[in-house]
Amino acid sequence: MGGGVNRFVLTFLLVVLPTTAQEPVRQTVLRAIALNGINLQDREWDSLIVAPHDTLSLAYACQCPPSSTPLLFRLTLRRHDDNREQVRSIGVDSVLYTNLPEGEYSFTVQAFAPTEGWFARPVTLRFRVNAAEATGWKARWQQRRASVSRPSETVTDSSSHTPRASQGWLWWLIALAGVGALLLAGITLGFRLKTRRWARTMAQRSHPAPMDSAAYDALLAENSRLKAELSNLRGQISALEARSRHLQQENRLLREQVERLSAKQEELEQLQEQKDTLFATLVHDIKNPALVIRSLVELLRSYDLSAQEQQEIINDIVETTTRIVELSQEISRILTLEAKVLQLDFQPVDIAELLRSVCRQNMPLAEQKSITLRQELEPGLPPVPADPQRLEEVLDNLLSNAIKYSQKGATVVVRAYVRDSHMCLEVEDNGLGMSEEDVRNAFQRGVRLSTKPTAGEPSSGLGLWIVKRLVEAHNGSVRIRSALGKGTTVFVELPLEQPSRMSVESEA
């Protein structure tokens, strides 16, 4: 007999227990129900009746193995009068209902883990919302609470009868099985007690009957209102974010404008300083020739001079006057080029004929220093759309500079040819040349270079600035290649086609 019992217990432990462990049961349970802040006993849940103004609090949980992922609870409140229901999923373990319309209701809650893909068994609570019946139910509820002082102890005592009755039978088995079966029987007893308690709890709190829901029109209306407010708030937040981005963009643009204006102001201050220095130099250069003219005129008035002496003085006066006129013209050109809009009268210009004319005009200066002027013009040069007066001024400045900074007996070469839809002009000399710093600053207004004219010719530092200003007004470009002691070459490129309008506005 004892051997048979032992084999039965061993078979139960090896077969039933592993199966139970491999298939965990997940059950959603109601932990507590409170009416107007007062907890109800378990036996009062099935006959629950509340008034519309009452506050019903429901707490729930999941009896399942521990999980590393958060659980969610699916709540369903149904009113059976019109079969309307409210369904939502939340991550908290309690919910509060109030101001429910009268009717038959059912509340169902089901735990689930979306990341693990499992759903626990649901639990359902049925209750009624009725103001008249709720008054009588509450009176009976208060009477039961007053008459039953320790209901929990009663439940505990009744739940402990089964273990006591089972313990006698188990002691009989242990006596027959012997000392070897005592441990196995104890484990079996503990498992059975735990299983019975869990099953009794589930039976008390789980209601498989069809769900009972009541009208929740007010809840739906409140939910719709809250959703509308939430949508409105989101719209306002989006508008504020867009406005913030717009203001940030405006602030960035304003900062950039301030930086540009500051740079322009600094540049204007530098230009004004250069202008003041330049005009002071020009005034000084004009004053000296004027004093010379005055002295020569006084000499003519004060002394008896021969005809030859008078002619020499007159020639000096003419030369000095010419210098004053040149300085005046230079000032006029500066004022014209500093204007915000530079008007150019574009015409087809015969570049070969214009170069020959400029060379003829500068031939006397070259002959005074025994400098050879050589022209290398490509045959069949096409006409160039340009302002002939301004372009002549560009070529005259370049050629006169080449003569000024070349020693006696040097050679100056003027070239013209067409490359890539541009007229290319070059003025090359084998004179003193320029340093790297002079090349970088050559096109700045009023800059005096480190090299000086070889025959003491005057220099205002404006020639190359004027050249660059006029070439760019023709949509062209100018650059310099030079080295000290190796001469200088200035390159000018002009487009063979200009905009259709005959005058071009150039920003100062």
User: Hey, is 121 helix, strand or coil?
Assistant: strand
Find out if CATH 3.30.565.10 is the number for domain 341-363+370-495. Answer: yes
Closest CA to 420 of 346, 338, 468, 476: 476
Angle at 433 between CA 427 and CA 437, to 5 degrees: 110
Question: How much of the chain is in helix, strand and coil states, percent to nearest 5?
Answer: 50, 20, 25
CA distance 106 to 451: 105
Give SS3 for 17: helix
For the cut 90, the answer to whether the pLDDT of residue 415 exceeds it is: yes
Return the number of other C-beta atoms located less than 10 Å from residue 292's C-beta.
Answer: 17
pLDDT of residue 333: 63
User: What span, in angstroms and rounded, lies between the C-alpha atoms of 313 and 305?
Assistant: 10
* Residues 147-199: tens digit of each pLDDT: 765 544 444 444 444 444 445 555 666 666 665 566 666 677 767 677 666 65
Q: Determine the average pLDDT of the residues in 104-132.
A: 90
CA atoms within 13 A on the CB side of 7: 3
Q: What is the largest distance, in Å, between two alpha-carbon atoms of the chain?
A: 171
Predicted pLDDT at 21: 43
- State whether residue 473 is helix, strand or coil: helix
Choose the weakest-confidence range: 72-76, 109-113, 143-147, 458-462.
458-462
Question: Taking a C-beta distance cutoff of 8 angstroms, is the pair 423, 381 a contact?
Answer: yes
| pLDDT at 111 exceeding the cut of 50 | yes
Q: How far is CA 417 from the centre of its chain?
A: 50
User: What is the distance, to the nearest Å, from the Cα of residue 108 to the centroid of all Cα atoms in its chain?
Assistant: 49
Amino acid at 257: Q
Query: Where in the chain do CATH 3.30.565.10 domains reside?
Result: 341-363+370-495
Q: What is the distance between the alpha carbons of residues 194 and 25, in angstroms, rounded to a whole number?
A: 14
Model confidence at 409: pLDDT above 70:
yes
Model confidence pLDDT, tens digit, residues 305-341:
777 777 777 777 777 777 677 666 666 666 666 655 5
Fold of 2-215: Immunoglobulin-like (2.60.40)
- Single pTM value for the model: 0.41
| pLDDT of 5 over the 80 cut | no
d(CA 260, CA 270) in angstroms, rounded, equals: 15
Burial class (CB in 10 A: 0-12, 13-18, 19+), 393: middle
Domain with CATH 2.60.40.10 in the chain: 2-215
Q: How far is CA 372 from the centre of its chain?
A: 64
Q: Rg for the chain (alpha carbons), in Å?
A: 55
Angle between helices 179-205 and 2-22 (to 10 degrees): 40
- Binned at pLDDT 50, 70 and 90, residue 67 comes out as confident
Residue 446: which H helix or E strand, with range? none
Name the β-bridge partners of 111.
Answer: 73
